[in-house]
Amino acid sequence: MGRVGVLLLNLGGPDRIEDVRPFLFNLFSDPEIIRLPVPWLQKPLAWLISSLRAKKSQENYQQIGGGSPLRKITEAQAEALEKRLEEIGQPAQIYIGMRYWHPFTEEAIARIKRDQITKLVILPLYPQFSISTSGSSFRVLEEMWKQDPSLSQIEYTLIPSWYNSLGYLQAMADLIHQELTEIANPDQVEIFFSAHGVPQSYVDEAGDPYQKEIEECTRLIMKTLNRPNPYTLAYQSRVGPVEWLKPYTEDALKELGEQGVKEILVIPISFVSEHIETLQEIDIEYREVAEEAGIEDFHRVPALNTHPIFIDSLAQLVVQSLQENPCTFEQITHPKKNMKMYPQERWEWGMTSAAEVWNGRLAMLGFIALMIELITGHGPLHLVGLL
């Protein structure tokens, strides 16, 4: 079969407090995170938002020990996966490619070339597909494949999403089950799925399948769990002024409080590792919101991390994908359905020359407004909470 490699894709997180600002700059420089009609505004805006958001974000990272645990957990997952693949007779070298922090996707590809990998399975550590996560990493890789002809020697295959894989569902059900056994009246507990949000326009205008996959995923987890508990799905971590997927986690918590719910079990489902949004946002911020709403007992299921059933499910996905026909970038980033993976090339208001002139003028006005905001510390971005 040649030399097999598995490339695990993930978001990345700042290892230390001083990494927070450059990490945020990388994140906001991504056109899949802030979809602007004019590419040249991306970097100045990323610089501005990262500079102004850094302080608040650093405080949050300070509350969880001064940095993101994401790199260490992803490395532990890679090690466990390598071991499991060896055990089931499919040895492979595992690589980690982060989108916004070390080890970057580019570093992983350099190592894959150096090791002369001939077959590569590209596996995002996001169970559900979103243009803003797996899609963004696929886009970077597709660009690298276009720029570097030597990469065409590697036979690769993508696993776009795997929220419905049996092992993953069993691992999630096992975590929930374990947590419920510690609770006095387990059947009365409200199961509260908290998914990471995306702007509503990603789904409505760009055709992101994320919301559909999240909804299906929660349904399948509940079916696998096979318990009578009531459940809610809500979306967390909204950034900026636009509308995101609803209901928002804070609103759903308040509503449950109003309905008299006293005990909830929160399940983070967009991500398989502990990170700032589980350790800080859920465990600290949303716990407070829930308590204020009258919810007396707030429990959370830990992230999968290196749960053995989960690691085995990743290994099975790798084996299965090596047996099937390869899935290419073309199939995912240029789907037949109307999904807009390349925001700046496809937004309709950049299509005509007149519109482009107006885009340019508006962008210039916007940039001046941003500079004023930066200097004075007052303006619309502060008002809506983006900065």
Of the chain, the end-to-end C-alpha distance in Å amounts to: 51
Angle value at C-alpha 237, between 233 and 239, nearest 5 degrees: 130
SS3 for 93?
strand
99 touches 327 (CB < 8 A) = no
277 in a known ligand binding site = yes
196 in a known ligand binding site = yes
By CB under 6 A, name the one of 4, 8, 70, 206 that touches ligand L6N33NVT. 70
Q: Is 19 in the site for ligand L6N33NVT (CB under 6 A)?
A: no
Tokens of 372: 């004023």
Q: Considering only CA atoms, which of 88, 142, 70 is closest in space to residue 318?
A: 88
Q: Is 68 in the site for ligand L6N33NVT (CB under 6 A)?
A: yes
Q: Per 3-state DSSP, what percentage of the chain is helix, strand, and coil (rounded to 5)?
A: 55, 15, 35
129 to each of 94, 159, 160, 277, 299, how far by Cα in Å? 21, 10, 6, 18, 27
Task: Enumerate residues 27-46 that contact ligand L6N33NVT by CB under 6 A.
Answer: 27, 33
Q: Is 239 in the site for ligand L6N33NVT (CB under 6 A)?
A: yes
Q: Considering only CA atoms, which of 66, 55, 70, 69 is closest in space to residue 16?
A: 66
Is 68 buried (19+), middle (13-18) or exposed (0-12) by CB count in 10 A? buried
Cβ atoms within 10 Å, residue 221: 23
Q: Considering only 71-79, 165-173, 256-264, 267-275, which stretch makes contact with ligand L6N33NVT by CB under 6 A?
A: 267-275
Q: Choosing among Fe ion, ligand L6N33NVT, none, which partner's interface includes residue 68 (Cβ < 5 to 8 Å by kind)?
A: ligand L6N33NVT
Q: Which residue has the tokens 């690691």?
A: 311
With CB under 6 A, what is the number of residues at the site for ligand L6N33NVT? 22
Q: Is 211 in the site for ligand L6N33NVT (CB under 6 A)?
A: no
Query: Which spans of this chain sit near Fe ion (rule: CB under 5 A)?
Result: 237
Q: Choosing among ligand L6N33NVT, Fe ion, none, which partner's interface includes residue 33 (Cβ < 5 to 8 Å by kind)?
A: ligand L6N33NVT
**Run of H or E including 257:** helix 249-258
CA 294/CA 290 separation, integer angstroms: 6
By CB under 6 A, name the one of 57, 77, 136, 249 that touches ligand L6N33NVT. 57
SS3 for 43?
helix
Q: Is 320 left (phi over 0), alpha (psi -120 to 50) or beta?
A: alpha
Nearest distance in Å: CB 270, ligand L6N33NVT:
4
- Which residues partner with 259 through β-bridges? none
Residue with nearest beta carbon to Fe ion: 237
By CB under 6 A, name the one of 71, 99, 275, 307 that touches ligand L6N33NVT. 275
By CB under 6 A, name the one of 130, 170, 211, 236 that touches ligand L6N33NVT. 130
Q: What φ, ψ does residue 4 adopt, rounded to 5°? A: -95, 135
By CB under 6 A, name the one of 126, 129, 193, 329 that touches ligand L6N33NVT. 126
Q: Is 11 in the site for ligand L6N33NVT (CB under 6 A)?
A: yes
Q: Choosing among ligand L6N33NVT, Fe ion, none, which partner's interface includes residue 70 (Cβ < 5 to 8 Å by kind)?
A: ligand L6N33NVT
Q: Choosing among Fe ion, ligand L6N33NVT, none, which partner's interface includes residue 157 (Cβ < 5 to 8 Å by kind)?
A: none
By CB under 6 A, name the one of 120, 198, 220, 267 that touches ligand L6N33NVT. 198
Residue with nearest beta carbon to ligand L6N33NVT: 13
CA 249/CA 252 separation, integer angstroms: 5
User: Which residues in this chain contact ligand L6N33NVT in the complex, by CB under 6 A?
Assistant: 11, 13-14, 27, 33, 53, 57, 68, 70, 126, 130, 132-133, 196, 198-199, 239, 270-271, 275-277
Q: Which residues are annotated as a binding site for Fe(2+)?
A: 196, 277
